[in-house]
Chain A
């Protein structure tokens, strides 16, 4: 096959002067080809532009992007420009994407099956990444399936194709991207990409993650015969109606054709669904103020994770929804899978939030003392089984500090690091900065 670069061809990194040897063709996209290469004995990814994309503007933009560096670990970022005398065009090198990361198309085709816990973690990591990008003043402009990868076991994400990020407000050139992810005002040509339009695209991507469906693909999409640009413009630009708009049922998902929407949506707690409702209704009418901000998504993803409960009958993950339980007058959730009611597990009220205490629950710094530090690698507490009777659960102190527990009977106990306290109704635990109360 004809490719821009040949195997064993050498190009030079422009800043370090190191030689980069082409090793394997990996794939191609709209702007260029990507190769595996070796530089200084280490494997690296090399993107080489087609002539039409190898413009002076692109080169300058890349220079800025490379100089600024990645906003966070979630970004696979250009490292150096590469070129060589006698070789047309130019490219750049970046780290290779590890094999453990899968594309969102794999998620959509059900080739990978993360748990809801992993998805909530991935959602948080994704939002975190874009939050950092935006706080640096960048705008991504082209959030879509092809740019995001996730590890289906851990929920870590990688955001790729960062050669087109631009300074917010600076975009003068042609609009890139596809109508499926674009904010309606961009589809209609009324606005250029910005961090505000990124927020819309991010919400669409999150909707795909959690509902496995597009937010505007309901009855109106089903009525379209030929899904071409004119149809997309009408559906996504001129009159986008959220499929679960509480005030407009004209675009509900069609059973038998758009089943994922109806299968996934009812599972999630109200607080989570409300965010999607807002961004896809108010966020369409009022692009500047109606969209959900990253800070809100972050809190929601953490709360979603905290609300996971396991059906004791079939083992499936469900979600605790206090509003839903209050409105039905029932203390028992209904499993979406086996349709049986089950009792809630123990849970802990920590400040304003409730965290479910499942057999595998861990508490993290943001639960106990640092509300802004979402780090799932450093648990400070974990649910354990009582060594004498595994029917009883306890909470083990994994932090470096002593806790003080007050049982409902009035007993006070110190829980040193490494020790556990039995989860009994009404027990209060002082964690230092925060007090928690156990409910069983």
Chain B
């Protein structure tokens, strides 16, 4: 396609936008090496990227920035500096070790301090994906997260991979009575939920549906719309 040369004939710049930090918190413990789970996770994230970019392009009031932390034995930042969604590329992660989820949440809590978080932003979106039980002190990790202003304000969703994930822990992480952990029992479901978490949830955080009766402290901040119909169950089941 012929590239158009754009001449600016009007002043100013882009619509002013606020940053929206999307942090993926990924379980890469030993059990994720079973049944192709880690491969499915990597694949699902690769697949979600075009939709993430397309959705972000429509949300001109926000600049989506991505961070990724993985946890197994200990936790480490996979992407430690916020990457603009337009520049986001996925480098595969591999599995091995235990499930130090608490440690990951403590490190996310540090990331949500100001600085490095800016003074003004849209509530961050945290996406926790796990297939098992935390092997460290999950409670103190969650407490550290909730002690941060941006942690308290964040929108949190969780995806359980397979039936061994601890749904109570995931529900505690979400901390919202109307949002449940999503149960992904096959690669197709996982891909669908990751796409939902990084598109629909982002959009509804930037442009929340109206709450005509006022924000209810019990259900605020935001209830993202549920993911669409169950994906076609034509994949291996975990």
On whether the two chains bind one another, the answer is yes
Q: Which residues of A approach B to under 8 Å, CB–CB?
A: 1-2, 4, 27-28, 30, 33, 50-52, 88, 103-105, 108-110, 112-113, 115-116, 144-146, 175-180, 182, 186-189, 208, 212-213, 217, 222, 224-230, 232-233, 257-260, 263-264, 267, 316-317, 336-337
Chain A residue contacts of B47, Cβ below 8 A: 1
**Residues B74-115 near A (CB distance < 8 A):** none
A228/B59 contact (C-beta < 8 A), A108-B14, A113-B6, A213-B16 known: no
Chain A residue contacts of B180, Cβ below 8 A: none
**Residues B1-54 near A (CB distance < 8 A):** 6-16, 18, 47, 51, 54
Q: A178-B208, A226-B153 are in contact. List 17 more A-B contacts (CB 8 A).
A: A4-B228, A30-B200, A50-B228, A115-B9, A116-B10, A146-B58, A180-B207, A186-B210, A186-B212, A187-B212, A224-B120, A225-B121, A228-B222, A233-B214, A257-B16, A259-B16, A264-B10
**Residues B149-196 near A (CB distance < 8 A):** 149-150, 153, 188, 191-192, 195
A1/B191 contact (C-beta < 8 A), A146-B58, A227-B121, A229-B221 known: yes
A1–B48 Cα distance when bound, in Å, is 9
B18 in contact with A227 (CB, 8 Å): yes
A212–B61 Cα distance when bound, in Å, is 11
Name B's interface SS.
loop
A30: shortest Cβ distance to chain B, in Å? 6
Q: Determine the residue in chain A with the shortest Cβ distance to B212.
A: A189
B16 in contact with A178 (CB, 8 Å): no
A1/B195 contact (C-beta < 8 A), A175-B212, A228-B220 known: yes
A92: shortest Cβ distance to chain B, in Å? 18
B14 in contact with A110 (CB, 8 Å): yes
B20: shortest Cβ distance to chain A, in Å? 9
A229 in contact with B8 (CB, 8 Å): no
What 10 A-B pairs come out closest when comparing CB atoms? A189-B212, A2-B231, A263-B12, A108-B15, A108-B60, A178-B207, A260-B12, A263-B11, A105-B60, A226-B153
Q: Determine the residue in chain B with the shortest Cβ distance to A177.
A: B210
A189 in contact with B213 (CB, 8 Å): yes
A260: shortest Cβ distance to chain B, in Å? 4
Q: Can you list 21 pairs linking A and B with CB atoms under 8 Å apart?
A: A2-B188, A2-B191, A4-B229, A52-B226, A104-B60, A109-B15, A113-B9, A146-B58, A176-B209, A179-B208, A187-B212, A188-B212, A224-B120, A226-B121, A226-B122, A228-B153, A228-B220, A228-B221, A233-B215, A316-B9, A317-B9
Is B119 in contact with chain A by the CB < 8 A criterion?
Answer: yes
Chain B residue contacts of A189, Cβ below 8 A: 211-214
Chain A residue contacts of B122, Cβ below 8 A: 226-228
B57 in contact with A105 (CB, 8 Å): yes
Chain A residue contacts of B141, Cβ below 8 A: none
B120 in contact with A229 (CB, 8 Å): no
A229 in contact with B222 (CB, 8 Å): yes
B210 in contact with A28 (CB, 8 Å): no
B228 in contact with A336 (CB, 8 Å): no
A27 in contact with B54 (CB, 8 Å): yes
A146–B59 Cα distance when bound, in Å, is 9
Chain A residue contacts of B192, Cβ below 8 A: 1-2
Interface size class of B (residues with CB under 8 A): 35 or more
B208 in contact with A232 (CB, 8 Å): yes
Q: Determine the residue in chain A with the shortest Cβ distance to B211.
A: A229
B189: shortest Cβ distance to chain A, in Å? 8
A109/B60 contact (C-beta < 8 A), A228-B123, A228-B222 known: yes
A214: shortest Cβ distance to chain B, in Å? 8
Chain A residue contacts of B59, Cβ below 8 A: 105
A225 in contact with B120 (CB, 8 Å): yes
A267–B226 Cα distance when bound, in Å, is 45
Q: Determine the residue in chain A with the shortest Cβ distance to B208.
A: A229
Chain A residue contacts of B119, Cβ below 8 A: 225
Chain A residue contacts of B226, Cβ below 8 A: 52
A34: shortest Cβ distance to chain B, in Å? 12
Q: Determine the residue in chain B with the shortest Cβ distance to A54.
A: B229
A110 in contact with B13 (CB, 8 Å): yes
Neighbour of A178 across the interface among B8, B58, B209, CB < 8 A: B209
A425–B208 Cα distance when bound, in Å, is 58
Chain B residue contacts of A30, Cβ below 8 A: 200, 225
A50–B15 Cα distance when bound, in Å, is 32
A2 in contact with B211 (CB, 8 Å): no
Chain B residue contacts of A224, Cβ below 8 A: 120
A336–B10 Cα distance when bound, in Å, is 10
B194: shortest Cβ distance to chain A, in Å? 11
A343–B153 Cα distance when bound, in Å, is 56
B12 in contact with A187 (CB, 8 Å): no
A176–B208 Cα distance when bound, in Å, is 10
**Binary per-residue interface labels of chain B (196-218) against chain A in the complex, 1 for a CB within 8 Å, 0 otherwise:** 00001000000111111111000
A220: shortest Cβ distance to chain B, in Å? 12
Chain B residue contacts of A267, Cβ below 8 A: 11
Neighbour of A179 across the interface among B13, B18, B58, B210, CB < 8 A: B210
